[in-house]
A and B are shown apart, each in its own frame.
Chain A
């Protein structure tokens, strides 16, 4: 992050702490894609992910005065998102609902059918992983966070995160192979 971007973010955070709604909106718009995306990958359900993302921002803004500015804001925000997802998954485990295993999209247009299909396949494969393996994989490969950042977000040693990402990859390719999902098979192009 450039010094200018850092200063801009600092200013937004200060305004958020003072209760400025327009700063809150600015903050949400900057990070909603990342926060919602991670929540969606973790929860596999749009509405649950929307709720978790909303709760993440509400909690973040409420605690912004306690945020240590020497930390990366993204990591801190994703830590809150990870906690929200864990809570949602724990609640789901207590009250299983088979309709929430994987979202299905009703209005498929022909143009993005392939991308949607691939997204559903990936989501299905991710759904078969342990929660921590899935989170580590998504943060590393989809959101391109470093192992150090993921260790900070998930509160684990870097070695553990590496192991989880490796295991997630192996399990995912095993699932891809069992479903014959490879580029060369022509499953997607």
Chain B
């Protein structure tokens, strides 16, 4: 049979090559072989029908408004992205707040050596001295605090302590209200961090012999007081 000889494989190769190059299948060489070989003629007819079907069928088109839906989708993603960064930023601020809130009381309850150094410097001759009041954009009443062991008034304008007091002031006044408006995800992530910091700093405080329980100041920032806003 003709289709079993070399001409049939040549025919198939030429047919595939034409298909690959998107050349018309009405090729004289193909037609010549197909005229005398039924299987190849059927093959040619099948491929031609397939190409015809691909060209004739309707190109599927999307429903109207795909562009609008894409913009809506992008808007939602952008908002999600923003809230994620906002959440991370709030978490970072909250962690910093936790650290500062835990450290500031420790600095305020200075050991006797610090107070005595201040006395020697002649900074505390009166019974009530007004410590450095940092300017944070609002007035503040004079602050009186006692040292842990001597009961002497604290008046040494220690730069580091002032710095932390300034932070504490700003935290209690301005930074915490936005923190209360955190979303649920942030709060859930924050609780274990806050608990860890709380445990770590209570252990640190307990290890210091100069501090007694009743004189230990309360932290100014506490995470559990945050209100969840859905």
Contact = CB atoms under 8 A, between A and B. Distances in A.
A118 B53 contact: yes
Contacts of B16: 166
Interface string B10-53: 00000010011010000000000000000000110111111111
B73 A54 contact: yes
B2 interface: no
A135 to B, nearest CB: 14
Interface stretch (A4-12, A24-32, A76-84, A86-94): A24-32
Interface majority SS (helix, strand, loop, mixed), chain B: helix
Interface string A55-73: 1011001100000000000
A98 B51 CA distance: 29
B51 to A, nearest CB: 7
Given A119-B58, A177-B46, A188-B53, A53 B20 contact: no
A41 B61 CA distance: 11
Given A36-B62, A54-B66, A173 B50 contact: yes
B78 A19 contact: yes
B48 A50 contact: no
B185 to A, nearest CB: 21
B60 A40 contact: yes
The number of chain A residues touching the other chain, given as a range, is 35 or more
Interface majority SS (helix, strand, loop, mixed), chain A: helix
Given A19-B78, A62-B77, A166-B16, A116 B58 contact: yes
Contacts of B48: 183
Contact of A115 (B50, B56, B74): B56
Nearest to A47: B63
Given A173-B46, A182-B46, A29 B67 contact: yes
A172 B74 contact: no
A142 B54 contact: yes
Contacts of A29: 67
Interface string A120-143: 011000000000000000000110
15 contacts: A19-B78, A24-B71, A28-B67, A28-B70, A29-B67, A32-B62, A32-B66, A36-B60, A115-B57, A141-B51, A142-B54, A165-B20, A173-B46, A183-B49, A188-B52
Given A141-B51, A173-B46, A188-B56, 9 more contacts: A19-B78, A32-B66, A36-B62, A62-B77, A115-B57, A118-B56, A147-B20, A165-B20, A176-B46
Interface of B: 16, 19-20, 22, 42-43, 45-54, 56-63, 66-71, 73-74, 77-78
